[in-house]
Amino acid sequence: MSAGIVSPPVVYSGRYQYKVDGSRRVMLPADWRSPDPSQKLVLLPWPLGAEQFILVLPPARWLAMFERLNTLSLSSKEVAAVERVLGSTSAHLGLDGNGRLCLPEAMARQAGITGEVLFLGRLNKFEIWHPERYAPVQSSDQRLAVTAINSMNL
């Protein structure tokens, strides 16, 4: 990329279902790939304590979370617990030459991911679900979104 030219951030929108190979590699949707092949994504089992899916943060979103943690007290037991959990369970991964992400074994197991995954865009981040785990969440998401949009005055 030429100096001085900044590419716009990737917007993670849409819903994609892909197969996972025997090495836990899964193709990332082409529209979601960064123009910078060295970019690392941060994968987290989520939500903490009730891991149902894998939350994936691009560098900018991870940095915002990281900077927020850095503003909190070093002596806080809660902050230390969050840092330990995030530090010990997150994975910073790049794509291979074919645009695939290799899901860490423990993370895939926690999320119930085996033969197929469902990618769900969340605009500045995305989620990776086992399709059957997301099915019951989808209808409650729709109802909650309608209520939230009305209260946000969007």
The tens place of each residue's pLDDT in the chain, 154 residues long, gives 455 666 788 999 999 999 999 999 999 999 999 999 899 999 999 998 888 999 999 999 999 999 999 999 989 999 999 999 999 999 999 999 999 999 999 999 999 999 999 999 999 999 999 999 998 899 889 889 988 998 887 6
Amino acid, single-letter form, for residue 145: A
The dihedral through the CA atoms of 52, 132, 137, 91 has a sign that is positive
Residue 25 is predicted with a pLDDT of 98
Please report the pLDDT score of residue 3 as a whole number. Answer: 57
pLDDT of residue 50: 87
For the domain made up of 15-152, the CATH class stated in words is alpha beta
Classify residue 101 by burial, with Cβ atoms within 10 Å: 0-12, 13-18, 19+: buried
Where do the domains of the chain lie? Answer: 15-152
Contact predicate 34/57, CB 8 Å: no
Q: What pLDDT was estimated at residue 26?
A: 98
